[in-house]
């Protein structure tokens, strides 16, 4: 199971303890106010409206009332563990559940190579969620030797039904990088501390193992 902190963002690693405590306190107060304002604090409140989920890889129906959003970094070792141990359980539990959809977003916390690898993933995702998740599994299996060049090779080898010409054109452009940066900005604005981070209807799941996510999903069901 991933540690509670996972792979911390560079900003969080650079903070001293006093600043970190202050930031967490402020975020907690603001989050509490938003929860109360939006839905009176009810556990089923869907606060994912600010996320660009229609543009993200997805397992499950887009109209599902329960939305699980996973933020990841391809070079984060804890994300690798999550991908191989927790995510398959989520797929088995909710892959055929009409009330639950699982989305994946980027949160670059490791460095420039992470950003470039994530851009490859975005170019794969342009061709569909099935292609993306096939690539994602292969990419996480390839840690710690994963590089942007290897990521592109894995995409060509594993991504379901990949149009290589369209993929190469995307990689050569800035579209993938722009999408990665937008996801990372969203994660930062949400106050996420690192990867993997999981939100269920906008509420972060602490120490996101399968049982913790499952409990959050059950609480969020209509």
105-128 pLDDT, tens digit per residue, is 999 999 999 999 999 999 999 999
Q: Kindly report the pTM of this predicted structure.
A: 0.82
Which distant-in-sequence residues (6+ apart) come within 8 Å of 9 by Cβ?
A: 107, 109, 188, 192, 193, 194
Q: What is the CATH number of the domain that holds 87?
A: 3.40.30.10
The per-residue pLDDT for 9 is 77
Q: State the Cα–Cα distance between residues 118 and 181, nearest whole angstrom.
A: 10
Residue 72 within a domain: yes
Residue 2 lies in a domain: no
**Integer Rg of the chain from CA:** 17
Q: What is the number of domains present in the chain?
A: 1
pLDDT tens digits along 182-194: 999 999 999 999 9
Of 29 and 103, the structure prediction assigns the larger pLDDT to 103
Query: Which pLDDT does position 13 carry in this prediction?
Result: 57
Residue 143 belongs to domain spanning: 7-220
Nearest-10 crossing angle of helices 87-94, 210-220: 30
- Whether the predicted pLDDT of 8 surpasses 60: yes
How far from 188 is each of 54, 55, 82, CA to CA, in Å? 19, 18, 21
């Amino acid at each position: 199971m991933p540690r509670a902190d996972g792979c911390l963002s560079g900003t969080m690693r650079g903070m001293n303890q006093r600043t970190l405590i202050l930031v967490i306190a402020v975020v907690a107060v603001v989050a509490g106010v938003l929860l109360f304002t939006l839905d009176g604090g009810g556990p089923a409140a869907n606060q994912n409206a600010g996320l660009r989920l229609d543009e993200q890889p997805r397992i499950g129906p887009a109209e599902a009332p329960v939305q699980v959003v996973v933020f990841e970094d391809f070079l984060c070792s804890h994300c690798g563990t999550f991908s191989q141990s927790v995510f398959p359980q989520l797929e088995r539990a909710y892959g055929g559940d009409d009330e639950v959809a699982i989305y994946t977003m980027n949160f670059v916390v490791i460095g420039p190579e992470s950003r470039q690898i994530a851009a490859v993933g975005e170019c794969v995702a342009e061709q569909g969620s099935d292609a993306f998740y096939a690539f994602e599994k292969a990419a996480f299996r390839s840690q710690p030797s994963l590089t942007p060049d290897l990521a592109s090779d894995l995409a060509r080898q594993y991504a379901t039904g990949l149009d290589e010409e369209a993929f190469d054109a995307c990689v050569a452009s800035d579209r993938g990088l722009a999408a990665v940066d937008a996801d990372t900005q969203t994660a930062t604005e949400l106050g996420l501390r690192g990867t993997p981070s999981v939100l269920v209807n906008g509420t972060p799941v602490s120490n996101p193992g399968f049982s913790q996510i499952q409990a959050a999903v059950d609480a969020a069901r209509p």
